[in-house]
Amino acid sequence: MKQLISIEEMAMMAIAIYGITLLPIHISWWLYPILFLSPDISMLGYAVNDTIGAFTYNLFHHKAVAISVVAIGIISGNPYWLFAGLMLFAHSAFDRMMGYGLKYVTGFSYTHLGLIGNKQKAAAK
C-alpha cells in the first residue's frame, strides 16, 4: 500500500512541476531547488514545542492550503500565486512520496502515514 501511495504522490508532484513549467514567469534555475525545499523552514516551529511545530509544519504541507493558494492565483490571474501554490503542492507530494505525512502534536515522528525516523525503527524491533 505504501508503494501505491508513493507512486500516486510522485504523479501529483510531476503534474505540479509540469504546471510550473507552463507559467509565464522567469526565475533563475538555481532558485527552484531552494524554493522547492523552502516549506521545510516550517519545522522551526518544533524549536518552540511539538504543538506549534505540528501546526506550522501542517500549515505549509497541507494540500488544501496549496490548492487554496493555486485558487487565489487563478482567480486573481497572478502567476506568482499560482507558482507558490504549485510549489507547495509539489513539495507536499514529494514529502508524502518519501513517507513524511502531516504531523500529530505528539511529536515530529508521529504522522498520518505512520511513524518515521527512530520511532519507526524502535517500533519495528
What is the per-residue pLDDT for 123?
A: 64
The predicted-structure confidence for 64-123, as pLDDT tens digits, reads as follows 999 999 999 999 999 999 999 999 999 999 999 999 999 999 999 999 988 887 665 666
**Helices 63-76 and 79-97, axial angle in degrees (round to 10):** 160
21, pLDDT greater than 80: yes
**All cell numbers assigned to 71:** 485558487
pLDDT of residue 117: 77
CB atoms within 10 A of CB 98: 12
In Å, how far from its chain's centre is CA 81? 16
Is the torsion defined by CA of 101, 104, 106, 108 positive or negative?
positive
Global pTM exceeds 0.85: yes
Task: Give the model's pLDDT for residue 1.
Answer: 72
For residue 67, give the H/E element and its range. Answer: helix 63-76
pLDDT in tens, 35-66: 999 999 999 999 999 999 999 999 999 999 99
